[in-house]
Amino acid sequence: QAKQRGNGFAFYRAEMNRHALKILELENDLRHALERRELLLHYQPKVELARGRIIGCEALLRWQHPQRGLVSPADFIPLAEETGLIVPIGAWALLEACNQAMQWQQQGLPAIGMAVNLSSRQFRSGDLPTAVAAALRHSALPASRLELELTESMVMDDPAGAVQTMQQLKGCGLQLSLDDFGTGYSSLNYLRHFPVDCLKIDASFIRDVDRDPSAAAVVTSIIDIAQNLGLTTIAEGVETHAQLTFLRRCQCDALQGYLYSRPLPAADFAQLLARPPAL
């Protein structure tokens, strides 16, 4: 019995070491990913419900690893966040996304908005407003077409400090949205003071919206609050027509999700933008 447990532990430890080694390897690779040009962005359209137009897109980070293939952000963003690598990676993503929006415009495509995700580390780094101003200047993208997506948890750690940073960012003339809305511990009292423009209703509520009355109640309440505060709403992770029908009924402003399009490489997104399918 004891021996067996011993072996089990040795096995467990070997597994742990392999796991730790793998993370160490990944971290080392991530350090070089930027300079080796292995990072890229995919773009997912944001579609207005009323007229079915593409009003913007969200830039989503991808890592084309030479051995592992396409690594999902869920597997490397936490690592980038821990190591601080997210700061240079985030700055790169910001500039790349702004440049891409301008490139599409120069190709004669509609001048749509470009949304970029921020990490909490970036948000707290102090020089975010400088990095944002630099990306706007270098790309010549009008600030009004840039949207930054923050999460509730990022801002609720230090609401007063966050409001200051948000005001500074708003001062550049850009748009701010609260991502994954409804999943964090946001307080409605703070929401009132946040200079945000849009609430992104989290996909977990949208998933069950047409079969679970409580999910439906959350979604209609978020839309109601947003309307009363003068904010727009976008539903994330919309996959079915039943969800779309529900969202139309409660006057959600826009949607994002596989129902319309998955996140696409830049060239494919340009084709979509040139000939947008009907919603």
Nearer to ligand C2E, 87 or 231 (CB): 87
Q: Which stretch binds Ca ion (CB under 5 A): 6-14, 48-56, 124-132, 146-154?
A: 146-154
Q: Quick one: which of 29, 96, 147, 149 contacts Ca ion (CB under 5 A)?
A: 149
The interface partner of residue 166, options being ligand C2E, Ca ion, none and the CB cut-off 5 to 8 Å by kind, is none
Torsions phi, psi for 16 (to 5 deg): -60, -45
**Binding to Ca ion in span 26-65, by CB under 5 A:** none
Rounded to an integer, what distance in angstroms lies between the CA atom of residue 147 and that of residue 223? Answer: 20
State the Rg of the chain over Cα: 21
Site string for Ca ion, 229-248 (x = CB under 5 A): -------x------------
Q: How many angstroms separate the CA atoms of 186 and 66, rounded?
A: 40
232 binds, among ligand C2E, Ca ion, none (CB under 5 to 8 A by kind): none
3-state secondary structure the chain: CHHHHHHHHHHHHHHHHHHHHHHHHHHHHHHHHCCCCCEEEEEEEEEECCCCCEEEEEEEEEEEECCCEEECHHHHHHHHHHHCCHHHHHHHHHHHHHHHHHHHHHCCCCCCEEEEECCHHHHHCCCHHHHHHHHHHHHCCCHHHEEEEEEHHHHHCCHHHHHHHHHHHHHCCCEEEEEEECCCCCCHHHHCCCCCCEEEECHHHHHCCCCCHHHHHHHHHHHHHHHHHCCEEEECCCCCHHHHHHHHHCCCCEECCCCCCCCEEHHHHHHHHHCCCCC
* Binding of Ca ion by 179 (CB under 5 A): yes
Nearest distance in Å: CB 119, ligand C2E: 4
Per-residue x/- marks for Ca ion, 180-209, CB under 5 A? x-----------------------------
List the single partner that 233 binds among Ca ion, ligand C2E, none, CB under 5 to 8 Å by kind. none
Binding site partner of 56, from ligand C2E, Ca ion, none, Cβ cut-off 5-8 A by kind: none
Closest distance of CB 230 from ligand C2E, Å = 23
CB-side neighbour CA atoms (13 Å) of 1: 0
Contacts with ligand C2E, residue ranges (CB under 6 A): 44, 60-61, 72-74, 77, 90, 93, 117-119, 179-180, 237-239, 256-258, 263
Comparing CB distances to ligand C2E, the nearer of 88 and 193 is 88
Query: To 5 degrees, how large is the angle CA 275–CA 114–CA 166?
Result: 160
* 147 contact, one of Ca ion, ligand C2E, none, CB 5-8 Å limit per kind: none
Query: Is the Cβ of residue 29 or residue 152 nearer to Ca ion in the bound state?
Result: 152
Q: Which is nearer to ligand C2E, 59 or 231 (CB)?
A: 59
From the list Ca ion, ligand C2E, none, pick the one residue 30 interacts with, judged by a Cβ distance below 5 to 8 Å according to partner type. Answer: none
User: What's the min distance (Å) between Cβ of 174 and Ca ion?
Assistant: 15
Name the pairing type of β-strands 198-201 and 146-151. unpaired
> How near is the Cβ of 277 to ligand C2E at its closest, in Å?
15
**108-127 positions binding Ca ion, by CB under 5 A:** 117
Binding residues for Ca ion, rule: CB under 5 A, are 117, 149, 179-180, 236
